[in-house]
């Protein structure tokens, strides 16, 4: 295979969490093409298992899909914050749960064809549900669900969010190796 080379990158729009670019690319055959690129500052997520053995999930409205989704808690990285700290903070803010232990589960890129969004996903035991600390534009319902039920929801296409599907399947594998 030949080499690719980016000749230029033009910013088209800067949003709150992403930047939209057109990249002018030199292709291996010598031709040039314009490719879309979305720059993302990264996010982190957490699979939290509570004292009852249920997974702490959040139900929230997603504008891109025009519907509610059931997801693991996740969110963007704050300046100066590492991924694990961000994952724990997002879990605490969105659910009020506190993390007892944290382990790296998997690392995913959500849409490799045109976006560099990376989401390291952590997992662990959680406890002591307290008050949520949501942003003014966040409306999140906490839902606690057994892992097997969540796997069934994936198989029935009721959970389709890439980070959540990846995380839950990886966590199921992690749990089977752990026991």
Active site residues: 136
Edge-to-edge strands, sheet with 18-26: 5-14, 18-26, 32-40
Q: What Cα–Cα distance (Å) separates residue 156 from each residue in 23, 66, 150, 152, 159? A: 38, 19, 10, 6, 8
Distance (Å, rounded) from C-alpha 123 to C-alpha 46? 5
Question: What's phi and psi for 8, nearest 5 deg?
Answer: -160, 160
DSSP-derived letter for residue 23 is: E
Closest by Cα among 62, 57, 15 to 39: 15
Q: CA neighbours within 13 Å on the CB side: how many for 19?
A: 11
Distance (Å, rounded) from C-alpha 168 to C-alpha 154? 9
């Amino acid at each position: 295979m030949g080499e690719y080379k980016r000749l230029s990158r033009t910013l088209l729009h800067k949003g709150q969490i992403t930047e939209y670019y057109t990249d002018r690319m030199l292709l291996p055959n010598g031709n040039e093409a314009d490719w879309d690129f979305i720059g993302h500052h990264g996010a982190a997520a957490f699979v939290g298992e509570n004292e009852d053995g249920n997974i702490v999930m959040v139900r929230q409205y997603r504008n891109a899909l025009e519907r509610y989704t059931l997801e693991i808690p996740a969110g963007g990285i704050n300046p100066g914050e590492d991924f694990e700290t961000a994952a724990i903070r997002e879990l605490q803010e969105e659910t009020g749960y506190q993390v007892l232990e944290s382990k790296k589960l998997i690392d995913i890129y959500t849409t490799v064809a045109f976006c560099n969004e990376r989401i390291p996903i952590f997992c662990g035991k959680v406890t002591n549900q307290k008050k949520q600390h949501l942003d003014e534009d966040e409306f999140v319902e906490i839902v606690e669900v057994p892992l097997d039920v969540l796997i069934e929801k994936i198989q029935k296409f009721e959970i389709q969010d890439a980070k959540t599907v990846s995380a839950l399947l990886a966590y199921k594998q992690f749990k089977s190796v752990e026991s």
